[in-house]
Structure 1
Amino acid sequence: MAGNFCPFLPLLLVMSSLLSGGSGEAVSRDQDGSVNTELWCVAKNNAEDAALQGALDWACGPGGADCSPIQSGGTCYFPSDVLTMASYAFNSYYLTHGLADSSCFFGNTAALTSLNPSKGNCKFQSSSLVNNGSSLVSPISTGQGPAYGCSGITMQWFSFLFITHFFMVVLLVTG
């Protein structure tokens, strides 16, 4: 019987991801029925520390990101965790520069995610708090170059759908 659902799993995955919206999830619905997905710009796990530090310095300097929480004594100051501190700076830059895919590149050291990167008292603001239903701010082209190939959001959705599909198949086969 599980084999009968296989051709429909990709469609079901897309539909369920669009229609879900429980607490703790990064997907919600407005009163008008439109779907909002919370997004954060974070440092890639496989990025070199030196590249992350350079991009972090740029975001907090010429990029104009609000980096006060990652300064000494701030709620997101983790001197031995460059990944978290870079993620905070990248996300701040992304939120203040139009929520465009190109605002979350940083020399290919960053990507968009729908997984909340907040940890403890270090809270990351999401894109849904910036997009209040009115038109978004126009992107400013002060990033470190365009994203080549697939956009970060495209890769995030593909990864999400692939992983979800895998687990649904495992559940159908074993359940």
Structure 2
Amino acid sequence: MDLSVFLQDCVEELRLDPRMEEINLTFFPNNVTPVLVMADREKLRRVMMNIIGNSLKYMNKDQKEIKVELFDHEEVATVHIRDNGLGMDREELPHIFDRFYRADPSRNTESGGSGLGLAIVKQIVEGQDGRVWAESRAGEGTSIYFMLPRTDKVGE
């Protein structure tokens, strides 16, 4: 599938979500040619929804932003989803993709987080021969990246 077209569709769909009313959601494809990857469209949609849903839980700025970027490399495509929410401490980063891990359990009782969203993201991405990781700064926001292998085969 063309990852660029898929991400554009996801972002357009998310803009219709009532939870996104006050969020400035942007997509930067960073390329003009198709970015073909072998991926399950529905599972990848779940990845996007889990990452963006997680970002929404920790938004605390007046100007709320989520940026989606696509980087096309020779052998892989990298998706970067960045928010300007609460962020987290460096010590928490190695654990955020663990099942049931919640960086601040007291915050999650209000938002209903189970600690499974990013664990599911990791399982889906790695199940498609990809890789996922995060970067964050407390008070500045969080970036989630995932890479998928490129292909030259044309699918749906």
The reply to whether TM is greater than 0.5 is no
TM-score scaled by structure 1?
A: 0.26
TM-score scaled by structure 2?
A: 0.28
Q: Who wins on radius of gyration, i.e. which is larger?
A: 1
Structure with greater strand percent: 2
Structure with greater helix percent: 1
